[in-house]
Amino acid sequence: MRSYWVYVDDPTSKARVHLASCRYCNNGQGVKDSRLPDNRWLGPFSNPDGAASVAVRENKRDTKPCGVCLPGYQIEAEVLQFIIP
């Protein structure tokens, strides 16, 4: 079964939804060499919408699905509307 993770980066105000198998996600471990103290992984989630709503609740300026592992996935408008500009 597929699982999903949310990457959150506080300094750059960024959140990304990834598939666990994505090379940038690596099952919530991330890319070892680029790991910083101010980022974190939330998950795993069993579906992308659950992951997306958690990503949105982090309230980052830049919240998107990963362009590598989820290029066709759209975060639903009902979920996105909770982002405070």
Residues in the site for Zn ion, rule: CB under 5 A?
A: 18, 22, 24, 66, 68-69
Residue closer to Zn ion, measured from CB, 5 or 56: 5
Smallest distance from the beta carbon of 7 to Zn ion, in angstroms?
A: 8
To which H or E segment does residue 55 belong?
A: helix 48-57
Helices and strands, number each (H, E), in the chain: 2, 4
Q: Is 51 left (phi over 0), alpha (psi -120 to 50) or beta?
A: alpha
The residue (of 41 and 84) whose beta carbon lies closer to Zn ion is 41
Least distance to Zn ion, CB of residue 64, Å: 10
